[in-house]
Amino acid sequence: MVITVTVFFGRIQEILEFYKLPEIDTLLLEQPSKLAFKYQCKCAIQKTWTNLLKSEIDNKSTLKYINAKALAIECPALFSVRQLYYSHLKVEVIHLVGERKWLQLFGNQESILLLIVDCSNFSENFSTEQITVITKISTELCHQLEIKRLKLLEGLRIASTATQGTTVSNL
């Protein structure tokens, strides 16, 4: 039984270290509230996996050409989808922080992209519940952008195949 407890606490310590969370001893001494610790864990997990994903993208030859900014903010082919979900996101955030704070925090494309990709970077401006709402809207925005992008790519592939078929049959 002692081995099981030792293994359990050892594994917990590994997880805390991986996500850069406080050590077990610190948690026992300070004992944050359940909601505060849950929020801290959620932010740490999101930040860790975002950084790992960014690192993977940088290390993969084909993934480094994906431009999240172009996809989420600039691509004209995705305008209708982006406008629908971005408008919803903007209205929700303005409702939470006010128009002046929106302009202050999100007055440039990089901040808007950061809000969409990882709103926990602005956690001092939002409650846990508000971050959850913003994350859901942002996730749906990214999901719908990806669906539209894939449909456009499929259309290009079909058009390209049809064009190649026509070219071959004309020869």
Distance of CA 54 to the CA centre of its chain: 11
Query: What residue type is 1 in one-letter code?
Result: M
Runs of H (alpha helix) within 1-78: 2-18, 24-30, 34-59, 68-69
Q: What is the pLDDT of residue 157?
A: 76
Q: CA dihedral in degrees (2, 3, 8, 12; nearest 10)? A: 100
CA pair distance 136, 106, nearest whole angstrom:
18
Q: What is the pLDDT of residue 91?
A: 94
Q: What is the pLDDT of residue 162?
A: 64
Helices 109-117/79-97 angle, 10° precision: 90
The pLDDT tens digits along the chain (171 residues) read: 455 767 888 888 999 999 899 998 898 899 989 888 988 888 888 778 777 766 766 665 555 555 666 666 777 778 888 888 889 999 999 999 999 999 999 888 888 888 888 888 888 899 999 999 999 998 888 888 888 888 888 877 776 666 655 544 444
Q: Structural domain boundaries of the chain?
A: 1-65, 67-164
Please tell me the pTM assigned to this model: 0.55
